[in-house]
């Protein structure tokens, strides 16, 4: 998605790709280089609700899978085979925005169950600047005690509403992508 976004923004735009998986960082770096995507920045950190020098991060198939996730999200019982745990650095979107001065127009969140954690760590950015949000929702992978309704409530409290969604049912839950805008 970062590569697609970098092409869509053009040379005058900016895309920041947060990626904690070492093999996927290499993949993004390679494509950034060979496609001359100077508008794309790769931040080798997990995005969550706290800044930390180390958080546990699950790698599936040595990190080359799209199901890598923060250990705190649990719910990874559907992909335990070939899983390892590493330590990665973590940051909140609020901290990143304060540190860089960057105020995004659009944020794509696809964190395999850490969606609520990411939004909790972006409350100031979301409430004050209202970037458009595309949120990939993985309800079965949420930490125990969290529900997708909590995510929607968090975003509603920040002034957002769902304007479009595309979902598919899996094991009785709606996995999908939701477009949120302020208003």
The 10s digit of each residue's pLDDT in 128-156 is 999 999 999 888 888 888 888 999 999 99
Residue at 15 is within a domain: no
Query: Is the per-residue pLDDT at 39 higher than 70?
Result: yes
Residue at 149 is within a domain: yes
Residue at 162 is within a domain: yes
Q: What is the pLDDT of residue 129?
A: 97
Crossing angle of the two packed helices 22-34 and 2-9, in degrees rounded to 10: 30
Q: Does the pTM of the predicted model rise above 0.85?
A: yes
Residue at 6 is within a domain: no
Alpha carbon distance 94, 92 (integer Å): 5
Pairing relation of β-strands 83-91 and 46-47? parallel
Residue at 19 is within a domain: no
Domain carrying residue 142: 45-182
Q: How confident is the model at residue 60 (pLDDT cuts 50, 70, 90)?
A: confident
Query: Is the per-residue pLDDT at 14 higher than 80?
Result: yes
Q: What is the pLDDT of residue 82?
A: 62
Helix (H, G, I), strand (E, B) or coil at 50: coil
Residue at 32 is within a domain: no
Higher pLDDT, 74 or 90: 90
Query: Is the per-residue pLDDT at 80 higher than 60?
Result: no
Instruction: Return the DSSP state at 45.
Output: S
Domain tally, the chain: 1
Give mean pLDDT, residues 47-73: 83
Residue at 18 is within a domain: no
Residue at 141 is within a domain: yes
């Amino acid at each position: 998605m970062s590569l697609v976004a970098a092409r869509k923004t053009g040379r005058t735009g900016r895309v920041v790709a947060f990626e904690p998986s070492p093999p996927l960082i290499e993949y993004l770096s390679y494509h950034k280089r060979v496609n001359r995507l100077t508008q794309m920045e790769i931040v080798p950190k997990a995005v969550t609700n706290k800044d930390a020098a180390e958080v546990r991060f699950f790698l599936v198939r040595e990190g080359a899978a799209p199901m890598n996730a923060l250990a705190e999200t649990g719910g990874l019982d559907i992909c335990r085979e070939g899983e390892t745990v590493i330590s990665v650095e973590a940051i909140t979107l609020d901290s990143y925005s304060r540190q860089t001065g960057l105020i995004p127009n659009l944020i794509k969140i696809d964190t395999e169950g850490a969606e609520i954690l990411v939004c909790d760590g972006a409350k100031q950015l979301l409430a004050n600047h209202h970037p458009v949000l595309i949120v990939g929702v993985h309800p079965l992978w949420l930490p125990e005690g969290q529900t997708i309704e909590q995510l929607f409530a968090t975003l509603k409290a920040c002034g957002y509403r769902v304007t479009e969604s595309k979902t598919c049912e899996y094991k009785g839950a709606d996995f999908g992508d939701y477009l949120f805008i302020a208003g």
